[in-house]
Chains A and B, each alone.
Chain A
């Protein structure tokens, strides 16, 4: 009995240690390594034709601000088409889009969906064949791209190996609540350290579904967007990597977003991410382990670890349960495993943005006092841990029952600083 419990515990401890080392490697890389941003200085070029896709489901609060920002972009007007994808909206979104299209018929070309499977992935999959442009950039409707952002995000596509690019997401409504302030810290760790370190080390930066884009021919080569996924961003990242393309991250290509202001919204969001990521985990683990010839071993390893980040929550809970059970069974864990688990758990609790990463990101960002809130991240991580575990469990149960998880829209606010961003 004890052995049957101890072996899985040891496996979990091993996995936790690997993730801990990964966090430290990334963070130390950002502190002492070379910062790679090879494409960001391309300011002058013969720019390709670009379509900017903005999936929008009931976005009347924010869509006009987004379109205004895109219309003001510093990009040749005859090579930039804005394609808001009205995804079955029932509010005033359609009217707003049509009004913009009437005012800018050559530049704003809405795509209206009235039926079909709900969700961003399905919307992109349906609209993709109808949209021209060598590069497709994608923004969520609540984002506020700066004037230079389009060029910055397009520049990496001069590299013929690049299939997708990801920029940095910066929370705008930081001041709204403790949650928004914690998410601000978490985002810093995730982008400034985690994503940039993977870019520096030539590993697997993740295309994040917004503030980024794909090369149309690359997407075609990997069979386009899939509508049956909850995380089309993770899904397309792995199909591109497996297909021989590179995904690159640009830390200086920053864009403001609204983060969830209430815990229920945040919990729904992270559950959706977890389910989508777990879908990708199930779909692509085997293909990465089979390791296509072009995939370097370190890239394959990083790809596997990235796939597993949302599986760490349930694994940690299982590890705690096993350790507790063994203790009450009288097994004295005195061989050094417990301290390792304790230290590793402390460092890995947040999986994607652990404490060391967040503190380093705050330093790299030149932040001042917001880092004082670091201890409170523990609460955010505990909520994430629980939410991810519940989502994973319900996903497993649902899979046995043959249920189909539906996409849920994240609530919008647009009540933070003015649309133009901070002064």
Chain B
């Protein structure tokens, strides 16, 4: 074999080897994807982040509108988005047959929005907002209070600076928040809610009868003290009126008897069943279902990787120390109060009665 043949053979071999590397070599020599991965931005914990973003966007657009734009105006924003502003006239919002509104709307009137409407763009309500029944919204930013009629649907987010009232049977996809309070009617479905106070409609149960003095918790013999918690490797049933001082980690199922008090946090690997009138000063954590009985109180976060049920009249968090419920699904009974934030992965609902 002569030198030329050897050279050709070698070159062909090298090319054959390099062929699968071609995309890599091109990317190395002419980089197209050099930026660091974007980390989760600072909005991660802010329920009202999208509302704040919309406020900023709209303010920027309105600043660029001609000064002589009439108070009642149907047109386009400077970026071309269809836009409507209602200050005096009520024609746009007049009741009638079901309509679809495809403009970003700024409502400066307190006139109620008729029922059975569909708003496919955002609404900025500068006056108290009153929505009719069965109306669907993409998103609402309310500078004051907002009330949604029965059977309303919010597809992305809603934020109110004042109280936010959600009518029975409504559905809140995405985020719902208020700087004051959120009141949820019966049968409301939701994903994520944040407010200093979140309450569900209904009547609180009657005050419980005085209970007998609590008895100190006697740990099972095989319980182990690990750091600042007590670990139990099996199921645990705390009798009614038990007083536990410290954190508990239970490998199995946990039942906390009526009227007990846990001065600490609870973590279980099995189900947690909390009977009525139990007080927990710490957090409640489980990979299995959690059920908080009627009139219960949990001061710290509830972290449930499965279903969480909060029975009537229960209180989670306090006004001075708000907290979070994070669950896969959440059911809230009547007259429950949550101070802080609710996050669900697969949705939550309020009781229908």
Cβ-neighbour of A368 out of B33, B249, B265, B305 (below 8 A): B33
Residue B68, interface by CB 8 Å: no
CB distance from B269 to the nearest CB of A (A): 9
Question: What is the chain A residue whose CB lies nearest that of B328?
Answer: A38
Contact between A372 and B323 (Cβ–Cβ < 8 Å)? Answer: no
Give Cα A244 to B267, complex, Å. Answer: 13
Give Cα A369 to B299, complex, Å. Answer: 48
Which A1-53 residues sit within 8 Å CB-CB of chain B? 36, 38-46
Residue B341, interface by CB 8 Å: yes
Residues of B within 8 A of A74 (CB): 42, 45
- A-B CB pair tally, cutoff 8 Å: 170
Give Cα A398 to B335, complex, Å. Answer: 69
Interface bits B218-258 vs A (CB < 8 Å: 1, else 0): 00000010111101010000000000000111010000000
Residue B21, interface by CB 8 Å: yes
Residues of B within 8 A of A181 (CB): 31, 34
Cβ-neighbour of A41 out of B31, B267, B299, B326 (below 8 A): B326
Residue B102, interface by CB 8 Å: no
Cβ-neighbour of A161 out of B224, B249, B326 (below 8 A): B249
Which A164-201 residues sit within 8 Å CB-CB of chain B? 170-175, 178, 181, 184, 188
Residue A422, interface by CB 8 Å: yes
Residue B27, interface by CB 8 Å: yes
Question: What is the chain A residue whose CB lies nearest that of B318?
Answer: A46
Give Cα A160 to B285, complex, Å. Answer: 8
CB distance from A378 to the nearest CB of B (A): 10
Contact between B322 and A44 (Cβ–Cβ < 8 Å)? Answer: yes
Contact between A369 and B32 (Cβ–Cβ < 8 Å)? Answer: yes
Residues of A within 8 A of B265 (CB): 158-160
Give Cα A375 to B283, complex, Å. Answer: 48
Residues of B within 8 A of A202 (CB): 287
Contact between B37 and A42 (Cβ–Cβ < 8 Å)? Answer: no
Q: Given that A159-B267, A372-B26 are known contacts, is A45 also in contact with B305, CB under 8 Å in the complex? A: no
Cβ-neighbour of B305 out of A38, A178, A220 (below 8 A): A38
Contact between B36 and A147 (Cβ–Cβ < 8 Å)? Answer: no
Question: What is the chain A residue whose CB lies nearest that of B326?
Answer: A41
Q: Given that A45-B323, A46-B300 are known contacts, is A375 also in contact with B227, CB under 8 Å in the complex? A: no
B residues near A, CB below 8 A? 20-21, 23-24, 26-28, 31-47, 194, 224, 226-229, 231, 233, 247-249, 251, 264-267, 282-283, 285, 287, 299-301, 303, 305, 321-324, 326, 340-341, 343
A residues near B, CB below 8 A? 36, 38-46, 74, 146-148, 151-152, 155, 158-161, 163, 170-175, 178, 181, 184, 188, 202, 215, 217-218, 220-221, 243-245, 252-256, 293-294, 365, 367-370, 372-376, 416-417, 421-422
Question: What are the 7 closest A-B residue pairs judged by CB atoms, nearest first?
Answer: A43-B45, A221-B227, A254-B39, A160-B247, A41-B343, A369-B33, A46-B321
Interchain Cβ contacts under 8 Å between A and B, 25 examples = A39-B303, A39-B326, A42-B45, A42-B303, A44-B323, A44-B324, A146-B41, A147-B42, A148-B43, A158-B285, A160-B283, A161-B267, A163-B227, A175-B35, A181-B34, A202-B287, A215-B227, A221-B226, A244-B231, A372-B23, A373-B28, A375-B24, A376-B21, A376-B28, A416-B36
